[in-house]
């Protein structure tokens, strides 16, 4: 009887810990006009910064490749950063990014041709400020050949 219970526990833990298939971002690939506004916890706010970027099919597998504004500037995320707790339901998206120095919570809305998310980075140390960035994107057409 004890062996049978142990077997159920092992099977249950294995199934519980099995990786969940990631859902891709429901956004149509193409050229996007993306605007970001940053504000720090001390009240300082930046001016809106607008750029264009090409969102490709391969970006849609990782939400942070789409909703991280710094990718517009060629930023490459640290490979040790982990995207976790991804939820995409009825046009709403949320996830967390655990990085070396901060944990970033991302929440917002996405449609096939646009998105609006808020990224709140909370530092792991006591000395740094938290930063909130609102990122909006609207599809403007197909990616150019460049």
Name the one residue in this structure whose structure tokens are 């099995």.
18
Residues 6+ apart with CB under 8 A from 4: none
Given a cut of 80, whether residue 4 has pLDDT beyond it is no
If one compares 42 and 113, the residue with the highest pLDDT of the two is 113
* HSE (side-chain half, CA atoms, 13 Å) at 113: 4
**Residue ranges per structural domain of the chain:** 21-141
Given a cut of 50, whether residue 11 has pLDDT beyond it is no
Please give the pLDDT value at position 23: 74
If one compares 119 and 126, the residue with the highest pLDDT of the two is 119
Cα separation, 107 vs 65, in Å, equals: 15
Cα separations in angstroms, 22 against 44, 56, 65, 66, 85: 36, 17, 14, 15, 10
- 70-100 pLDDT, tens digit per residue, is 766 666 667 788 999 999 999 999 999 998 8
Query: Quick one: pLDDT band at residue 13, thresholds 50, 70, 90?
Result: very low
Query: Quick one: pLDDT band at residue 133, thresholds 50, 70, 90?
Result: very high
Q: Are the CB atoms for 108 and 115 separated by under 8 Å?
A: yes
Name the one residue in this structure whose structure tokens are 């910064």.
49
DSSP assignment of 102-125 equals: EEEEEEEEEETTEEEEEEEEEESS
């Amino acid at each position: 009887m004890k062996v049978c219970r142990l077997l159920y526990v092992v099977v249950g833990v294995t199934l519980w810990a099995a990786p969940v298939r990631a859902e891709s971002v429901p956004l149509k690939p193409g050229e996007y006009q993306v605007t970001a506004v940053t504000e720090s916890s001390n009240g300082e706010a930046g001016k809106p910064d607008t750029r264009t970027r090409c969102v490709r099919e391969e970006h849609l597998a990782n939400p942070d490749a789409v909703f991280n504004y710094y990718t517009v500037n060629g930023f490459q995320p640290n490979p040790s950063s982990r995207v976790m707790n991804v939820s995409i339901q009825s046009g709403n998206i949320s996830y967390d990014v655990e990085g070396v120095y901060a944990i970033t919570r991302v929440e917002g809305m996405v449609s096939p041709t646009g998105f609006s998310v808020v990224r709140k980075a909370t530092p792991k140390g006591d000395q740094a400020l938290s930063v909130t960035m609102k990122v909006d994107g609207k599809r403007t057409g197909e990616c150019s050949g460049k």
